[in-house]
Structure 1
């Protein structure tokens, strides 16, 4: 993968995680993002689905802070994030351990009818919580909906998230998952 493409993807991810906008990712940012997703969806943090989402984001924070917060200040800088995430995302097992639980919890939350598919309106709502415009969400759906069913399975959505960070070629469908690069 080109170094520049990976840098842009990681910078986009950092911006999504830096909910406070203070230039560093802290525990409150991740939990705040989880809470924003729940509030935007009208889900209680104490419900089974809400607890699963918040637990997923807490797990991401614990893993990232343990591995990426090299100066132990309780915050991850953009530089620490880029360097550490390159390592974390280079192995499928690490993605599955660190990111899959939260990605699945969020995707399942947005699968409002429980059919295992995140439809257009559901995907638009989910991606808007991450700061993606509705137009970019619609583009992502068009590119990711391989079977033209007007929806993406929860599993496909999780794999699209993995491919976003691991895809080697610019311009692939997964590159559009969180808006145009």
Structure 2
């Protein structure tokens, strides 16, 4: 498997979590991303949807830190890449751990519960991740393969899987956060 593309994507993912640019992330950084998402959607962390998202992010953190055997210290970009690769790319924990968080997030983006995500819901999510609006627009256009102005929740979860686990340069999920 080619790791250059995957490492570029994981480095971008690290930057999403490292919102303060400190060069390392901790549990509070990942949960902070979850909080930014919830605030963007006006969702309480104690609501069912908020609890699913917060619980999903917490489980990702536990899995990631267990994979790199950290004692709770901050995680470097190199450790992040190694842990994500071991747990979710080479390991078999994407479905059990990462996918529930991705589904909870995609569900929040589906603001009217019709099974599809429109541009506004997508942009709220992208804003929480710190993705510039023009990159978010390019990402949405790429993910909206049929040009109908919407992305299904299922397709958004699959794009998430592709972004975090695939080294295939041709998958649409590479565009989840805009051009690489």
Return the TM-score normalized by structure 2: 0.91
Check if 1:76 corresponds to 2:70: no
Gaps of 5+ in 2: none
Using the TM superposition, give the Cα deviation of residue 131 of structure 1 relative to its aligned residue in structure 2, in angstroms.
1.1
- Note if contact 2:65-2:83 (Cα within 8 Å) is conserved in structure 1: no
Q: Name the CA distance, whole Å, in 1 between partners of 2:70 and 2:107.
A: 35
1:15 aligns with 2:15: yes
CA distance in structure 2 between the partners assigned to 1:167 and 1:66 by the alignment? 22
C-alpha displacement of 1:71: 4.4
Q: Distance in 1 between matches of 2:70 and 2:142?
A: 40
Counterpart position of 2:25: 25
Match of residue 67 from structure 2: 67
Q: How many residues align?
A: 180
Match of 1:46 in 2: 46
Instruction: Give the Cα separation in 1 of the matches to 2:20 and 2:58.
Output: 16
Structure 1 length-normalised TM:
0.90
Contact 2:67 2:86 in 1 (8 A): no
Cα RMSD, aligned residues only: 1.8
User: Which residue is 2:158 aligned to?
Assistant: 159
Relative to structure 1, is the Cα distance of residues 57 and 73 closer, same or farther in structure 2, using a 3 angstrom cutoff?
A: closer
Deviation, structure 1 residue 148: 2.4
Structure 1 residues 169-178 or 36-45, which shifts more? 169-178
Query: 1:72/1:157 Cα in 2 relative to 1: closer, same or farther (>3 Å)?
Result: same
Equivalence for 2:133? 134
